[in-house]
């Protein structure tokens, strides 16, 4: 059945106009961006299919690869959905602006949580700082699997030299949601401190990101 044949209070656009966006399901919200369906599938069906294919909205938001070529999901629809997802990511947490000064762990913890907590695989990232702890750049340097990632100290050193950094804050996520630092987390922190120390770059902290508050290795006395 075409959406135009649905009762008015069940159509996504009319429902949004009368009840507000919060009243719509994830599939109905996606249908608004998709605009239309295809033969045999409504826009809501397409939205539901897209969510099911990716494992839900959270997984869809963290998706880095192009959207799948599902039936009815042409180039124009994919572009609209990708634009909407990128807007959602950009608004999901605070920004870390260049030249912002990081004076304590709380200044950067929430930013790092918003950027890394939704990934279904491990991501290792670095905040590059000058000698007054002002932000030079933020980069996600390495990506791994659901239970680990390989960090190459040489590449971290190279990135520090590229940004002319005097200090860094390290961060990575635990897809399990448990932010407890592991032995390998402590080991790579020590290895990076040693490698970066050779080029005059200080490691100020290493955050582990999970579902709750980020854990600071510096605050735990683990570095």
> Residue 156: what are its φ and ψ, rounded to 5°?
-65, -45
Decide if 125 contacts 68 (C-beta within 8 A). no
* pLDDT tens, position by position, 101-117: 666 777 788 888 888 88
pLDDT tens string 22-33: 888 989 989 988
Top pLDDT among 41 and 4 is at 41
Considering the segment(s) 105-216 as one domain, its CATH architecture is 3-Layer(aba) Sandwich (3.40)
User: What percentage of the chain exceeds 70 in pLDDT?
Assistant: 90
Count CB-CB contacts under 10 A for residue 198: 9
Contact call for residues 98 and 165 (beta carbons, < 8 A): no
Predicted local confidence at residue 124, as pLDDT: 96
Report pLDDT digits (tens) over 75-99: 888 888 888 877 776 665 555 666 5
Looking at per-residue pLDDT, the higher value among 139 and 66 belongs to 139
Return the domain boundaries, the chain.
3-90, 105-216
pLDDT band at 52 (very low <50, low <70, confident <90, very high): confident
**208 vs 149: CA distance, rounded Å:** 13
State phi, psi for 145 to the nearest 5 degrees.
-115, -170
pLDDT of residue 53: 83
Rg (C-alpha) for the chain, rounded Å, is: 21
Confidence of residue 199 (pLDDT cuts 50, 70, 90): very high
Q: Which of 58-62, 63-67, 187-191, 207-211 has the lowest mean pLDDT?
A: 63-67
pTM, full prediction: 0.64
First to last CA, the chain: 61
Average pLDDT over every residue of 135-150: 87
Pairing type for strands 167-173 and 202-209 reads parallel
pLDDT at 16: 85
């Amino acid at each position: 059945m075409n959406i135009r044949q649905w009762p008015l209070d069940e159509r996504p656009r009319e429902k949004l106009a009368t009840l507000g966006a919060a009243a719509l399901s994830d599939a109905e919200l996606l249908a608004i961006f998709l605009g239309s369906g295809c033969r045999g599938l409504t826009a809501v069906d397409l939205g539901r299919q897209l969510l099911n294919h990716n494992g839900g909205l959270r997984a869809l938001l963290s998706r880095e690869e192009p959207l799948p070529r599902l039936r009815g999901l042409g180039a124009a629809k994919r572009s609209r959905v990708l634009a909407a997802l990128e807007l959602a990511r950009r608004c999901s947490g605070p920004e870390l602006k260049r030249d912002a000064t990081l004076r304590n762990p709380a200044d950067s913890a929430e930013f790092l949580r918003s950027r890394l907590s939704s990934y279904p695989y491990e991501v290792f990232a670095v905040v590059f700082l000058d000698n007054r702890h002002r932000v030079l750049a933020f980069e996600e340097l390495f990506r791994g699997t659901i239970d680990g990632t390989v960090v190459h100290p040489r590449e971290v050193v190279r990135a520090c030299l590229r940004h002319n950094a005097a200090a860094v804050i390290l961060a990575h996520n635990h897809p399990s949601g448990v932010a407890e630092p592991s032995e390998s987390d402590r080991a790579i922190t020590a290895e990076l401190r040693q490698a970066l120390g050779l080029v005059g770059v200080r490691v100020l902290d290493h955050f582990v990101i999970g579902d709750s508050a980020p854990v600071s290795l510096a605050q735990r006395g683990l570095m």
